[in-house]
Amino acid sequence: MYLFLPLAFYRNTEISNTYLTKSSPKSQYHIMMYYSNTVYLCWHYLTDAVREGRNQYERAFGISSKDLFGAMYRSEEEMLKFLAGQNSIWSICGRDVLTAFDLSPFTRIYDLGGGGGALAQECVSLYPNCTVTIYDLPKVVQVAKERLVPQEEQRIAFHEGDFFKDSIPEADLYILSKILHDWDDEKCRQLLAEVHKACRPGGGVLLVESLLAEDKSGPVETQLYSLNMLVQTEGKERTAAEYSELLRAAGFEEVQVRRTGKLYDAVLGRK
């Protein structure tokens, strides 16, 4: 005797089609895979991170984290996962942070630590009169040029280097997206001082970060990001006042803050 059961049909919801399918322009597949396969392994040692006040690459992967990005980019596969994940974030947040202020007066822009180039591509799309140079480590630049940024995009250039060790070229605007939260206050002050020195008069720096409330009571997402900075980097998330103080200490004035209502916010300092 055979028992016939009715067929069941399944389909993605609209949200899963938008954010989980690889074919979607707003897919978050890559960042979710990075969280699952890399970040989550560091979170296994959250207790140790809190006790020691340092990231957990050594316990999670058996490698030294004295060179932070050497640990993060420990293989080409791992670097690609990270860069693709970061690109996916800007597919849903890039426009919000780049339009928080009118950036059209800035024509020569350097994206420090621009990685896979998604934010640079969004920037030249929004501001046709600008050019953007992605300044990043040599191996990151090579991958971005060959695999992530369309070769026909003439308004995006590349600069290989380590901006903590090498000189920073003159520009109208410097974008630091999710850069300062990787580092302690001393390293942030060091970097911003060099940016201020290189910046043209009247130019500025745009910080793109997830801002804590001034009493640090939230948002919950940003508090979780700060814990993630603990287990993965040398930094933390900060309040708008803390970023403003870092900018002013480096010489930037007219500091303005815009909360986007999304995951990342914008802080603009002018020289």
Structural domain contains residue 91: no
Structural domain contains residue 94: no
The Cα–Cα gap between 184 and 190 comes to: 10
Q: Are residues 243 and 180 in the same domain?
A: yes
Alpha helices in 73-216 (DSSP H): 76-98, 118-126, 138-143, 185-198
Structural domain contains residue 90: no
The Cα–Cα gap between 101 and 125 comes to: 15
The Cα–Cα gap between 249 and 90 comes to: 29
Quote the pLDDT of residue 89.
93
Residuewise pLDDT in 10s, the chain (271 residues):
556 666 667 888 999 999 889 889 899 999 999 999 899 999 999 999 999 999 999 999 999 888 888 888 998 899 999 999 999 999 999 999 999 999 999 999 999 999 999 999 999 999 999 999 999 999 999 999 999 999 889 999 999 999 999 999 999 999 999 999 999 999 999 999 999 999 999 999 999 999 999 999 999 999 999 999 999 999 999 999 999 999 999 999 999 999 999 999 999 999 9
Beta bridge partners of 173: 109, 204
CATH of the domain at 242: 3.40.50.150
Q: Are residues 106 and 38 in the same domain?
A: no
Q: Are residues 52 and 147 in the same domain?
A: no
Q: Are residues 199 and 242 in the same domain?
A: yes
Structural domain contains residue 228: yes
The Cα–Cα gap between 5 and 3 comes to: 6
- For the beta sheet containing 156-160, the strands, ordered from the edge strand earlier in sequence to the opposite edge, are 156-160, 131-136, 108-112, 171-177, 199-209, 265-270, 253-258
Quote the pLDDT of residue 7.
67
- Residue-range definition of the domain harbouring residue 237: 102-270
Quote the pLDDT of residue 70.
87
Longest dimension (CA), the chain: 86
Say how many domains are in the chain: 2
SS3 state of residue 125: helix
* Residues with catalytic function: 181
